[in-house]
Structure 1
Amino acid sequence: MTAPQGARILVVDDEPQIRKLLKVTLQAHNFEIHECADGEEAVVQASIVHPDLIVLDLGLPGMSGMDVLQRIREWSQVPVIVLTAKEREEDKIAALDGGADDYVTKPFGMGELVARIRVALRHVAKTTDEPVLRFGPLIIDLAQRQVDLEGSPVKLTPTEYEMLKVLASNAGKIITQRQLLQQVWGGHHHESDSHYLRVYVGHLRKKLQEDPTRPRFIQTEPGIGYRFLLQDDVGK
């Protein structure tokens, strides 16, 4: 599935050179670009323009990028890709836990950013009430709680199934360790219980016949969480 052409993208960054670079490059990929330089304007523009995706710098004057994200998430689930000069894991995790769909660290390659934008748009395009998720040879029937790989059923424990469901339902997005722990085990677990995740992801990979060094379905984001791969992004 390809990303929709002509998708509206709102670029929020206080650096004119970055906005110009993004505008020229993304327009060359047939995206419709809207831009603004501060947080307050970003919230207003998001409500007026109704973008298909937002590229959001965290280091904004006035209202911070995290505050913008929080405000927008109060009423919209539009995909948000955070563009940040902050390289600490804590900052990336905070952005993802706060509702960002992905992040790209400055300085960044335009090719990577365009690829991330396409992944986010494809994820939205395939987010429906359809009870069957298909990823190449892997089929997950949510209604029947049935998982098939290359035509054969995969036997999963209830916990393994719940973990696979959360990851696959958010294909293309990074799911943080905290988000995964909360959605699979409930709120009584703490981030320090991340060893649960490593154990269960290991079990899942084995049952999905996956080489951890060359992930076919589940990609580890070191120190942050996991990303279930859309099949046309495997190997990128």
Structure 2
Amino acid sequence: MHGNADEEPLSRQGDRRDVLVVAGDPGDTELLTTTLESAGYRVDAASGAAEGVVRLRRSRFDLVVWDATLPDNRDLARGRRLVLENRPPVLFLITCDYLHTLLPELGGGAADYVTEPFRATEILGRVEVLLRGRRSEPSLGMPRYGDLVLDDVTCRAQRGARPLDLSPAEYRLLRHMLVNSGQVLSKEQISRHVWSDFRAAEAIEKLVSRLRQKVDQEEPALIHTRRGFGYVFGRPGV
């Protein structure tokens, strides 16, 4: 990471921060632990939701990285919600197919998520934003840009008063573009995020075209092509 001293990870500014990683895949646990410890965080790990709750009750953590696809998350949401009241900020790990199952039942508080396959730089960036107590995007469940609003609970979107009838792939693409507004997204990045594998350029172009027809019926247009590079979301000059 680059920047001045004010932009360095919080774990390097004074006391180190304690992070709990709750993930079922040992490979994910090892990657997350190594990534966070290399950035200066103290890391503890749990292999399931029930064990994660026990750790949260016994120890104080500044942030939790939580696998939202763990099998015992459902039992936690049904019977143990109160345990996580006043919980620390949570960074959820989620696959695109499980996006609609994110757990609002875990209680209030700051939350964000990354979709798998995730990158170490993305994890660190989201962790630092959550620990600073501010968000690079709107609160979980209602991302927005101008008059465009997404609802992650229902996976629906609208622009102004007009609902957008989006397919799952279109919704995933729109959300990815919205939270990365102003950044050029290559076709490879889009393919990896929407489908978790490689798709031909023609398939991506058709998907973007369908989404543009639904989103950009009003002015200003929000989806723009950067020929030879990819696509950019947002109002020009903003």
Larger RCO (alpha carbons 8 Å, 6+ apart): 1
In the superposition, the TM-score normalised over structure 1's length comes to: 0.50
In the superposition, the TM-score normalised over structure 2's length comes to: 0.49
